[in-house]
Amino acid sequence: MIDIPTWDALANKLRTCGLDIFATATVSITHKGFADEKVLALALLARTLSNLKGTLSLLRDRQIVEARTITRCCFENAYWVVGLAEEGEAFVRRMRDDEMSRRRHRGQFMFDTDVELPPDVEERLRNYLRGVNKSFANAKTLNPQQVAALSDIGRSYVFYGQLSADAAHPSMTSLNRYIVPHSADEVGGIDVNPAVKDAEIENTLELLCLAVMSVLVAVNQMLGGTPGGGILNTLADEYMKLSNASAARAVEPASP
């Protein structure tokens, strides 16, 4: 039996726990400011809680593609938090390099495609790019698979890939959900509002809880443990119980 209400309840418990971690965290703003790995972890926690809220709202409206796309964001948040936990300042530098590399490419794209800019804006952009090219000539971008591989969380990348294929990207797989095949009684076509199965909503909630749980655990550990994170072990046990029950139902033989 599909158990959407219980998974939804767990997701909301995780959101409450995340808010409590945020409220009870004691992080001082050091001279590093936003470059502090703990500050960045809290920012990723805030982003994850926002993603979680948005995903639950979309699932209530049965907007499964959009919900799975944002669930994919939660896995990416988890990879970045674990990167910070594993590498500390070194990962902050990799994040900075990624940012500057992408800015450089965006700026260069504007010149390569002959985008018309006011002369003063063009001159400022050229000066900015010269500085970036000089200071970050060897900067590299980050990708989720690369970051996920930093720890055991990399095993969840298969879920990230599935969410990419069936929701986030306009792949043949994702587009197929809108195709209505021909039948003996009806000509097929395209459905702009295809029916969503309860099983897919439950699966999305399970993946959402896994990604959010990963973020909460990693952030809480980075902060040395918080009063708000004291319930995490209980929530992890609840997640495992629900996940095992879902897996058991999936292998049950069909009723005759």
pTM of the shown model:
0.90
Task: Centre a 10 Å sphere on the Cβ of residue 37 and count the other Cβ atoms it contains.
Answer: 20
At position 98, the amino acid (one-letter code) is: D
The predicted pLDDT at position 140 comes to 86
Helix (H, G, I), strand (E, B) or coil at 190: strand
The predicted pLDDT at position 103 comes to 85
At position 144, the amino acid (one-letter code) is: P
Domain map of the chain by residue range?
4-87+143-250
The predicted pLDDT at position 133 comes to 78
Give 10-residue mean pLDDT values along the chain (256 residues): 92 98 84 78 96 98 98 97 94 90 84 82 82 80 90 93 96 94 86 94 97 97 95 96 87 56
The predicted pLDDT at position 24 comes to 94
76 Cβ contact partners less than 8 Å away, ≥ 6 residues apart: 144, 160
Contacts of residues 84-93 at CB distance under 8 Å and 24 or more positions apart, as own/partner, are: 84/37, 84/40, 84/41, 84/44, 84/218, 84/222, 85/41, 85/218, 85/221, 85/222, 86/150, 86/151, 87/150, 88/37, 89/37, 91/37, 92/35, 92/36, 92/37, 92/40
What does residue 179 show for φ and ψ, rounded to 5 degrees? -90, 130
Which among 95, 86, 209 has a CA at the least distance from the CA of 143?
A: 95
30 vs 33: CA distance, rounded Å? 5
What's the burial of 27, exposed, middle or buried (CB within 10 Å: 0-12/13-18/19+)? middle
The predicted pLDDT at position 120 comes to 87
Which among 209, 158, 152 has a CA at the least distance from the CA of 13?
A: 209
The predicted pLDDT at position 251 comes to 64
